[in-house]
Structure 1
Amino acid sequence: MATLNQMLAEQGKLIGEAKKNLEEAQKKPPASSSPIAVREATVAELKDRVANLSAAKVDVVRQIDGQIATYQKEIAVLEKQIEEDKKQRGDQSPTPRPRTRGAKS
């Protein structure tokens, strides 16, 4: 499974590319004398890009939710182990001695 940073980087690339394409399309809008078919093709292409980005967003959210669930399970297991260890040892976990500056050991 890709890491969260990798997923976000990939999505950033997709979003950046889509933004660039949209900005280019807005800079060069079809002239009013352009045939309707050209405009319809532009609309269809933009709808396709929106659909692709929406699918990518859903995929990233699903992957992030999966990672969160995995981490939550791991946290629960570790917390349970800590509680069991505390019960077995009578909660006598060693506390670190405070270190004073300049003191020689």
Structure 2
Amino acid sequence: MTIVPLRIGGGTRLKILESLALGTPVIATRKGAEGLDLVPGRDLLVADDPAGFAAAVVRILGDAELRAQLSHNGRQAVEARYDWRMIGQHFNDFIEKW
């Protein structure tokens, strides 16, 4: 499991994308997942305070089905939206329209 407790920051959240690509469940703050095309509760869990993070960790550790769903859904989301082949295709489409 990957925990991303960002409260401030900018840039691409590569640690989240890399973790999801590996099938690792992610718990992040809203700020940590900001700008990513992911659905909280489906692709990752979101928590914005220490108690929320603790509850999410316990939930993932105690629920094998949830762990498997987050692993599967997160990986699928990354492959569908952030895989280099998809990024390259979006770039080519942009250039052709321009």
Q: The TM-score by the shorter chain falls in which range?
A: 0.3 to 0.5
- TM-score, scaled to structure 1: 0.32
Larger Rg: 1
**TM value normalised by structure 2:** 0.33
Structure that is richer in strand per residue: 2
